[in-house]
Amino acid sequence: MAKSKEPRFSQKTLDFLVKAGRQKKPDWLQKNADDYENHVRAPFIELAQKIKSALQSSVPDYHFPSKGLARLKRPDFKVAGGQTQFKDWLSLIATRPSKSRFESNPHLFFGLFPNQESKILIAGGLWQPTSKQTRLIREAIHQDAEPFHKLFKDTLFKARFKKGFEMEHTASRVPRGFPADHEDIAWIKLNRFVVLKEISIKDFSSPKLSESVIKDFKQALRLNQLLERALKISTPDGRNVSRWLK
């Protein structure tokens, strides 16, 4: 008996998500169940399982989702609020569970957004830090940004995330209490501490996609570890502490 092919993403995956986001009839997904399974759900679950298998042992306290993957149906209250029946995007997020409902932790991210300019994204870091978290990370950079410089210059890291921090979202002014002439003031002004990369449709459709994403995530975890150490600074305002990386 011939070995069945492993589920794979393709342009059909993105096309299906675009169509899903336009639907107003709740039975549309059921009528297109085969395409959904073959082009969206099966490859998404396959990728998630491989990521978890490869990385869970190195970060045992991370939560790698295994249930509810690739769900497109919106909750009824959102549909009642005027949104379409189905989402036109999908994402996978792995992170340490937060002890607070108001704070998130550094995470690993894989997302499909066919209606956006960046359609297939890989990311690591802290996307929506609270004001306290932002202050702590800024203070760590102010004290000693060398760990970040060293990471971003590392050959393995640069091979996956060439630009270092994503610089699009920054404060319009120098944050209070920080010197405007600091050599890393651009990082201190960041509102998000993330690295990003976009995946081409060729790589997205490749049988080696999971292998590539795992390599990306292994490097993104190195950034997450730096951010997690910065967030452990325990003084009330994050100042007057010893070197934060110790």
* pLDDT one-digit tens code per residue, 140-188: 999 999 999 999 999 999 999 999 999 999 999 999 999 999 999 999 9
Q: Which domain holds residue 24?
A: 11-230
Alpha carbon of 82 to those of 19, 24, 78, 94: distances in Å?
A: 17, 10, 7, 30
CA pair distance 59, 231, nearest whole angstrom: 17
Burial of 84 (0-12, 13-18, 19+ CB in 10 A): middle
Residue, of 99 and 135, whose pLDDT is higher:
135
Residue, of 6 and 52, whose pLDDT is higher:
52
Is 118 inside any structural domain? yes
Q: What is the pLDDT of residue 4?
A: 53
Is 196 inside any structural domain? yes
Q: How many domains does the chain have?
A: 1
Out of 2-11, 118-127, 180-189, 197-206, least confident range: 2-11
Mean pLDDT throughout 220-243? 72
* CA of residue 28 relative to chain centroid, distance: 29
Is 246 inside any structural domain? no
Mean pLDDT throughout 68-93? 95
pLDDT band for position 100 (cuts 50, 70, 90): confident
CA pair distance 125, 193, nearest whole angstrom: 6
CA pair distance 105, 128, nearest whole angstrom: 9
Is 243 inside any structural domain? no
Is 245 inside any structural domain? no
Mean pLDDT throughout 29-57? 98
Is 242 inside any structural domain? no
Mean pLDDT throughout 107-115? 98
Is 4 inside any structural domain? no
Mean pLDDT throughout 197-206? 97
Token pair recorded at residue 106: 């550094």
Is 235 inside any structural domain? no
Q: What is the pLDDT of residue 121?
A: 98
Give bridge partners of residue 93 from the DSSP assignment: 109
